[in-house]
Chains A and B, each alone.
Chain A
């Protein structure tokens, strides 16, 4: 049973460029989440998918951000016209249908973005 996989692990880009991150959740998990973590802070919720449907979006997800999960398996998070304030770790998590009582999320190792 492989864990949540995220690519790339590190991305350095210039301000104004577009970047895309990919997340492959645990195979039997139909719920997928994106979080953002800045230095010295805990993760902050960005968006949530159940299968291919994006059911919840945080106000943190500005119109420069778009997330998709076209076939209900992997997901992508795209940031357009990056700004220095977008520099952060982007964490993906998944959880199974009919979540266990605890409902814990299973996280990947994250994709670290640095915008110069």
Chain B
């Protein structure tokens, strides 16, 4: 069984500062992918970043980076230089290799303070 845990229901960050959103996961699979999605108030889930379980380097996409610690089963999202438009819900998700669906955590609401 898969489980995604996001322990921070809400986070605040000052504009231009960096913030880390936590995600831990539990799976018995050896091959899987980890995802982060952003959900603004409009409702659309926007893909941010992906990390494969066998990737040796931490993923980066612009201001987003994923701090992947496989032994600890954590996949934290780091957002650098926060902007007001980053205020949204953020979801961590996992998919077993070969599976068709993503399994999501409960999310963290990020608020960027001007």
**Inter-chain contact B104/A105, CB cutoff 8 Å:** no
Known: A48-B100, A56-B100. A43 touches B91 (CB 8 A): yes
Cross-chain contact B43 with A112 (CB below 8 angstroms)? yes
Main secondary structure of the interface of B (DSSP, over half): strand
Q: What is the CA–CA distance of A43 and B44 in the complex, to the nearest angstrom?
A: 11
Alpha-carbon distance A109/B39, docked complex (angstroms): 9
Q: Could you tell me how many residues of chain A have their Cβ less than 8 Å away from some Cβ of chain B?
A: 27
Check if A103 is an interface residue, CB within 8 A of chain B: yes
Tell me whether A67 is interfacial, beta carbon within 8 Å: no
Give B42 Cβ to nearest chain A Cβ, in Å.
6
Interface string of B24-52 (1 = CB under 8 A from A): 00000000010101000011111100101
A63 → chain B, closest Cβ, in Å?
20
Residues 86-116 of A contacting B (Cβ, < 8 Å): 89, 91, 93, 101-110, 112
Q: Which residues of B contact A45 (CB under 8 A)?
A: 101-103
A21, CB-defined interface residue at 8 Å: no
CB distance from A67 to the nearest CB of B (A): 14
Interface residues of B (CB under 8 A from A): 4, 33, 35, 37, 42-47, 50, 52, 91, 93, 95, 100-107
> Residues on A close to B: CB < 8 A?
3, 31, 33, 40-45, 48, 55-56, 58, 89, 91, 93, 101-110, 112
